[in-house]
Structure 1
Amino acid sequence: MFMAIENKKISQIVIEQIQEMIMKGELKDGDQLPPERVMTEQFQIGRPALREALKALEVLGLVERRHGLGNYIVNNVESNFFKPLSLSFKLNNGNVQEVLQLRYLIETFTVREAAKSATPNDVASLKQKQLQMMQAETPAEKSECDRNFHFEIARICNNSLILLTFENASYLLENFIDQTVHLSYFTKEDSIELIYEEHQKIIDAIEKKDEEAAVSFIVSHLDNIRPDLLHQI
């Protein structure tokens, strides 16, 4: 099942082999890994190195240790606190403009797909999130509702890879949206009302299944963001 390890940091190679087997479909969500004794024999490594690798995979959300049962492949990556895309972006000195470009790229696609496939329940969910934002009392609460609104559109488009990208970049997007909503709330009396109006136009276009209008409204919505007024992400 596993290959013996040579000439590299032992635990890292174990991690890479298990990740590669997941990518090839040889290991799937819910699969039980062999007992640790068997894995040490197959890898030809000591138990401390194996446990170090399994612990790292657990932190990544790929392995779960179940007491008395063993180690299992799981899909806890998307709920995991580790956000490699956000961390890499920060370490590469990414800027606010790049985050806005990512939003244009993702959201013009997701809103078009949402307009194609949204069900009445999906539209009702968007309307509920819009209402929650309008009823929220603080800028922080409104920011959370705004994030939920945009993430819901990504969910409706029914593309798991895009949704995972959105979630993986969640720290960057949350920070960006927080600042945008705070600026709207504090700079002009009617700025937050403009966000509500833009959201409503997007909802209406999705409900009417008008793809071009939905894209046009999301572009207008993003065009109103002033990245020059935002702090570094």
Structure 2
Amino acid sequence: MKLVLPIDSAPLAETIHSIRLTPNMAYNKIRQPKLSDVIEQQLEYLILEGTLRPGEKLLPERELAKQFDVSRPSLREAIQRLEAKGLLLRRQGGGTFVQTNLWQSFSDPLAELLADHPESQFDLLETRHALEGIAAYYAALRGTDEDLQRIRECHTVIQQAQDNGDLDAEADAVMQYQVAVTEAAHNVVLLHLLRCMGPMLEQNVRQNFELLYLRREMLATVSSHRARIFEAIVAREPEKAREASHRHLAFIEEILLDLSREHSRRERSLRRLQQRKE
């Protein structure tokens, strides 16, 4: 990844020249920001916006200093401070990495609670309606060519997993696809929400696929819905992308409700049979 981010004092100079000086003005000292502070802020922003992803390895110190056009001691000081903040991790002889656990995910007990109460999965589906719909909208609106290529690759992996009948691989691929779409939206809050909710969303997607695979004839319809979302994003049609996302999740919700009703009917029938035997 190439980072062309030279650090200079031009913005500060413009600010200074824009100040109109008068004889009666009370002057405050204007301090040039410390170079390591500016580097620290730049790296923090790259992490915040998702350009530097969790677990990603930074360029070697010499190369990174050249990219920033700064001295290596200043860069080293900035990295040390980010390491102290828990944003970076330095491995002896292995380089510097963005921390993998940057976003504290919702607690495991909450994820387990949702798993133990299937009806709560519908609440999570409603949340997915909001998050995935707006992510698809902004991905179509703001996604770069590189973003769209990554979405295209993830979409292909989903289809391959489905063709192979590999439930686990398909569920994993769907999550990677959604991460790619959310990154393409270029909204840091959306991206952080997705990562914080990661464990719950992964569990929800996997549980949905376990049920959908009971009705394999429905998988083709689900696949066509997902294709419409993908096509709208690539065609840069935000409203169509959002609408396609809502239709896709509404269809899944309808299937899950049908399966839930079937399960309830089956349980009632079993109870009646058991009572007759007694």
Range of TM-score over shorter length = 0.5 to 0.7
Matched, 1:116 2:103: no
Q: Please, which of 201, 205, 211 is the counterpart of residue 232 of structure 2?
A: 205
Closer/same/farther in 2, CA of residues 188 and 212 from structure 1, 3 Å limit? same
1:177 matched residue in structure 2:
205
The separation in 1 between residues aligned to 2:111 and 2:136, in whole angstroms, is 27
1:218 matched residue in structure 2:
245
* TM-score of the aligned structures, taking structure 2 as reference length: 0.53
The separation in 1 between residues aligned to 2:126 and 2:208, in whole angstroms, is 15
The separation in 2 between residues aligned to 1:117 and 1:159, in whole angstroms, is 10
1:17 matched residue in structure 2:
none
C-alpha contact 2:143 2:186 (8 A) present in aligned 1:
no
Q: By how many angstroms is 1:143 displaced?
A: 0.9
Matched, 1:104 2:153: no
Query: Matched residue pairs, number?
Result: 174
The separation in 2 between residues aligned to 1:164 and 1:148, in whole angstroms, is 15
The separation in 1 between residues aligned to 2:229 and 2:168, in whole angstroms, is 22
What percentage of residue pairs aligned between the two structures are identical? 19
Matched, 1:85 2:106: yes
Q: Please, which of 154, 164, 168 is the counterpart of residue 129 of structure 1?
A: 154
Q: By how many angstroms is 1:31 displaced?
A: 4.1
Closer/same/farther in 2, CA of residues 104 and 66 from structure 1, 3 Å limit? same
C-alpha contact 1:110 1:153 (8 A) present in aligned 2:
yes
1:32 matched residue in structure 2:
81
Q: Please, which of 144, 161, 174 is the counterpart of residue 146 of structure 1?
A: 174
RMSD, aligned α-carbons: 3.4
1:71 matched residue in structure 2:
none
Amino acid at match of 2:193: T
Amino acid at match of 1:128: E
Unaligned runs of 5+ residues in structure 2 are: 1-40, 45-77, 261-278
Closer/same/farther in 2, CA of residues 81 and 181 from structure 1, 3 Å limit? farther
The separation in 2 between residues aligned to 1:214 and 1:151, in whole angstroms, is 16
The separation in 2 between residues aligned to 1:215 and 1:108, in whole angstroms, is 5
Closer/same/farther in 2, CA of residues 122 and 88 from structure 1, 3 Å limit? same
The separation in 1 between residues aligned to 2:235 and 2:103, in whole angstroms, is 38
Amino acid at match of 1:212: E
* TM-score of the aligned structures, taking structure 1 as reference length: 0.62
Unaligned runs of 5+ residues in structure 1 are: 1-24, 34-53, 68-73
Amino acid at match of 1:194: T
Matched, 1:195 2:222: yes
C-alpha contact 2:89 2:98 (8 A) present in aligned 1:
no
C-alpha contact 1:115 1:209 (8 A) present in aligned 2:
yes
C-alpha contact 1:86 1:169 (8 A) present in aligned 2:
no
The separation in 2 between residues aligned to 1:177 and 1:81, in whole angstroms, is 23
Deviations 1:154-183 (A, max 9, x none): 010011221121011111000111122222
Deviations 1:64-120 (A, max 9, x none): 5777xxxxxx852xx229844243634776821221122112111111101101233
Residue correspondence of structure 1 range 35-46 to structure 2 within 5 A: none
Q: Greater Rg, structure 1 or structure 2? A: 2
The separation in 2 between residues aligned to 1:117 and 1:129, in whole angstroms, is 18
